[in-house]
Amino acid sequence: MSEFDRIGMGRGLAAVLGATITLALAGPAMAQIEHPAVARAMEISEAFKAVAEEASPSVARITGYTRGGAKVTGSGFLIDEQGHLLTNNHVVEASMTLLAEFSDGRIKPATLVGADPLTDLAIIKIESNGVAALPFASSNQLEVGEWVVAVGFPLGLDQTVTVGVISATNRRLNIVGTSVGRRGYEDFIQTDAAINRGNSGGPLLNLRGEVVGVNAAIVTQTGGSDGLGFAIPTSLASYVAHELISKGRVVRAWLGVNLQDLTPALSVSYGLPRDQVGVLLTEVDPRFPAGSAGLLAEDILSSIDGRPVLNVEDLRSQVAMMEPGKRIVVEVYRNARRRTFEVTLAEMQGTEAEVRRETIDANQGGRLGVNLLDLNEGSLRNLGEQTGVEVSQLVPGRPAQLSGISAGDLIVAIDGQPLQTSRVGYNGRSWAKWLFEFIETAKPGTIVRFAVRKAVVDGSGRLVGHDHVRTFVAIELQ
């Protein structure tokens, strides 16, 4: 059979199939399935819809701009009526200015209240917009298999809702704290609800619409969601958020010991049952809280204030969320005999110093977020322009930068006309002063069109000139 014959048969078969499909589509509609299982599934669907509807107004896209103008995006959510949003430290740590964009389109400047690299959490604040905060639930009550909903702004998309279950709890990935070279505090919730880049800082909610975790990380071989998402539990996040809001940093308590996990073999070697819970103290300095209270190396610490100590990470987390100066009762086994000690906790030093970041007020530079300098007559002659100002400094994330204007650009006209001047001193005249005042006094909703001569830079970022062709930028003033 020739190639032509095979193609002809294929077309004939396609025509027959097409007719069959057309007839099938023209037939009677399939009856709706009436089954109790379908009704129950629809009830769950309604629960997901209710959670999404309630949470949506309180979740924002967080956009940060670095000194070089690079954009970093993530998610965050309102946690109180004062305008505090909880997000991840890695979303805000490199940013000099921050914006919070809500699902209704409102964009609000945000300021950094405090950040904690050792839990990868941060608090930012906006002017309160009257939107309700999301309620918190205790993550200690979570069970594997429980339904959860993730809300955020992944991969540059608008607000997105995904659904899954709790896959595991108490996961540790050893990734938190690396930005400051310290071992962080981890107790991740694992979920198969789709989490991608940009979801960081968004809420993980139960079916009552309560926050149970802060989405923070993924494990992936593809670069996208492989069904392995991780959230910081509210048992940790709520404590850190309170510390950051009230103090601007997290103040942590300290026992002053080195320790290791207790294995079944170690437990038996010390005359205890194989399933004994606790940690083995490997070094105790008598100058520090535990040592001054009488604890010794090779004691097995099994509980704090009656709460069992499961492993090293559990002990670190328990102590870190206590106030320095608090007196606690610790239970230890020494020579296979149980003993109790009272320990007064001290404040951890060195590792928890407040992280200081260079930031720019998002409201700096007026409505546009620019600082302007007048061009001299010689520069204007060389450019062949009548009037002009230089954008000497640009606030990332403000309207000028968002519209494409860069530091070093020249504004040479407005609305098709040369710039005017305002009086400066006794006999001075300034285009920059006039333009700034014009922008600041214009009515909201005014659209201003700028004629711009773009800055030209070399490979090292050094300004070498300006484009001879004008670029036009229109900005609607808010």
Superfamily name and number for 254-347: PDZ domain (2.30.42.10)
Which range is least confidently modeled, 216-230, 286-300, 301-315, 330-344?
Answer: 216-230
**Rounded average pLDDT over 302-326:** 93
Phi, psi (degrees; rounded to nearest 5) at 348 = -65, 135
Tokens of 319: 């102590």
* 370-476 CATH fold: Pdz3 Domain (2.30.42)
pLDDT of residue 2: 39
Residue of higher predicted confidence among 33 and 173:
173
Q: From 362, 366, 380, 402, select the one nearest 453 (Cα to Cα).
A: 380
State how far the Cα of 98 lies from the Cα of 197, in Å rounded to an integer: 18
Q: What is the pLDDT of residues 199-220, one digit of tens each?
A: 999 999 999 999 999 999 998 8
Residue of higher predicted confidence among 80 and 423:
80
Where b means 16+ CB within 10 Å and e means fewer, 390-413 reads bbeebbbbbbbbbeebebbbbbbb
Shared fold status for 34-250 and 370-476: no
Which range is least confidently modeled, 267-276, 368-377, 393-402?
Answer: 393-402
Q: Is the pLDDT of residue 325 over 60?
A: yes
Which range is least confidently modeled, 5-9, 98-102, 371-375?
Answer: 5-9
**Rounded average pLDDT over 367-390:** 89
State how far the Cα of 455 lies from the Cα of 433, in Å rounded to an integer: 21
Q: What is the pLDDT of residues 330-341, one digit of tens each?
A: 999 999 999 999
CATH no. of 34-250: 2.40.10.120
Q: From 118, 269, 115, select the one nearest 180 (Cα to Cα).
A: 118
State how far the Cα of 313 lies from the Cα of 238, in Å rounded to an integer: 18
Domain ranges in the chain?
34-250, 254-347, 370-476
Q: What is the pLDDT of residues 109-146, one digit of tens each?
A: 899 999 999 999 999 999 887 889 999 999 988 999 99
Catalytic residue numbers read 90, 120, 200
State how far the Cα of 448 lies from the Cα of 477, in Å rounded to an integer: 8
Q: Is the pLDDT of residue 61 over 60?
A: yes
Look up the pTM and report it.
Answer: 0.71
Q: What is the pLDDT of residues 242-252, one digit of tens each?
A: 999 999 999 99
